[in-house]
């Protein structure tokens, strides 16, 4: 017989559905704000934010793509747009000739600073408004192990297919 019929109890099911719905709604709201405030898509904002966080202001393409959970070809496309807009610069990496290092420009930092307050405002008022300070702490403690677990779980396709394929 197959390994224990997988099932989710009603609490799990509700948590799962709510998780999906909450992030969908949040993403829509944020997307709209970013479009209005700086003509940025959510992905573009994520990329700029990640670059802005980096001490050097730069990242390799692949690491950047992994960081925002995005396809490599998609990143190439977005990097092209951002570069055309003068928000980032692409240059061959010093140590490895294959890889490209993307670096945020001053204009990129400026735009980031321009849209950030509104972004924070949306997240605050939509996601954190109904939560107390303690609630947020608890939520963070719940999410961290899930994040680590997911990061360390190879995306199915990467799992070595032993036999029968």
Partner DNA sequence: GTTTACTGCTTCGAATTCAAATGGTGCGTT
Partner DNA sequence: AACGCACCATTTGAATTCGAAGCAGTAAAC
Site residues for a copy of itself per CB under 8 A: 5-8, 11-12, 14-16, 18-29, 32-33, 46, 68-69, 117, 120-121, 123-131, 135-140, 142-151, 153, 155-157
| Of the candidates 78, 80, 87, the residue with the CA atom closest to the CA atom of residue 44 | 78
**Residue 17 CA from chain centroid, whole number:** 20
Say which entry of a copy of itself, DNA, none residue 114 contacts (CB below 5 to 8 A, set by partner kind).
none
Do the Cβ atoms of 88 and 104 come closer than 8 Å? yes
| Of the candidates 8, 50, 46, the residue with the CA atom closest to the CA atom of residue 27 | 46
Residues 70-109 that bind DNA (CB under 7 A): 70-81, 90, 93, 96-101
Q: Which of 12, 23, 32, 137 binds DNA (CB under 7 A)?
A: 32
Q: 35, exposed or middle or buried, with CB in 10 Å at 0-12, 13-18, 19+?
A: middle
Do the Cβ atoms of 67 and 50 come closer than 8 Å? yes
Say which entry of a copy of itself, DNA, none residue 99 contacts (CB below 5 to 8 A, set by partner kind).
DNA
Nearest-approach distance from CB 27 to a copy of itself, in angstroms = 8
Applying CB under 7 A, which residues contact DNA? 32, 41, 43, 60-62, 65, 70-81, 90, 93, 96-101
């Amino acid at each position: 017989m197959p390994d224990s019929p997988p099932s989710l109890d009603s609490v799990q099911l509700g948590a799962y559905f709510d998780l999906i719905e909450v992030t969908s709604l949040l993403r829509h709201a944020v997307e709209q704000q970013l479009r209005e405030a700086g003509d940025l898509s959510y992905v573009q904002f994520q990329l700029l934010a990640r670059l802005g966080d980096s001490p050097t202001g730069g990242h390799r393409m692949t690491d950047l793509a992994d960081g925002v959970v995005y396809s490599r070809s998609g990143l190439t496309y977005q990097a092209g747009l951002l570069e055309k807009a003068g928000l980032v610069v692409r240059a061959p990496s010093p140590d490895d000739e294959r890889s490209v290092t993307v670096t945020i420009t001053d204009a990129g930092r400026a735009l980031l600073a321009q849209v950030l307050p509104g972004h924070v405002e949306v997240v605050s008022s939509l996601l954190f408004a109904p939560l107390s300070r303690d609630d947020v702490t608890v939520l963070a403690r719940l999410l961290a192990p899930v994040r680590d677990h997911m990061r360390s779980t190879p995306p199915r396709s990467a799992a070595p297919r032993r036999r029968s394929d």
